[in-house]
Homo-oligomer: A and B are copies of this chain.
């Protein structure tokens, strides 16, 4: 039997609930970039005590989802295009590697899961629900990353994607982006299904580059 089968269920603690709730709130753009978070207000809204909140904030700080400046407290960092570019570049590095490995080692069962998630995205892409588009697209990637055979690759990728997830919501709503995204993702899927490592890498690289370009367009059009 597997040696590290983890049967232990993790009790939901206030700290973890709070981290999850705040993370979701940040993703959904509830706070303006640059705006400060007032501890007392958050405590009241979340119905928790200040020590618990502060622990949660430290976790989010380490994830780079918020910044905490001594004596000024937590705030939502304004993500510059420079940093976003840097994140996209590292994402490219990681996703290309993951797609290539995935093509060589994914199991038939997981491949079906990947196909399912692609279908889910297809459905979302034809709708106007940009939140559904982002989440289903994220599912697609996370299956690839989960099957690349390297848990660290997955972990690092998740951390990066978190920071630019709200970019995706905006770029998805660009005219036609969801459809072309779908085509690129289908290409990646086909390559993985065929077990063609090189092609999977190439397709994955193309996809990230286009996503990056779309993110830039959506940012420019906003300024």
Binding site for B on A (CB under 8 A): 4, 8, 10-11, 13, 15-16, 51, 54-56, 58-59, 61-63, 69-71, 80, 83, 86-87, 89-90, 93-94, 97, 150-153, 156, 159-160
Contact = CB atoms under 8 A, between A and B. Distances in A.
Nearest to A84: B152
Given A15-B58, A93-B93, A152 B156 contact: no
Query: In terms of DSSP, what is the predominant structure of the interface of chain A?
Result: helix
Nearest to A85: B150
| This chain's copy number in the assembly | 2
Contact of A58 (B62, B71, B150): B62
A10 B150 contact: no
A90 B156 CA distance: 9
Contacts of A83: 151-152
A86 B152 contact: yes
B150 A89 contact: yes
A90 B150 contact: yes
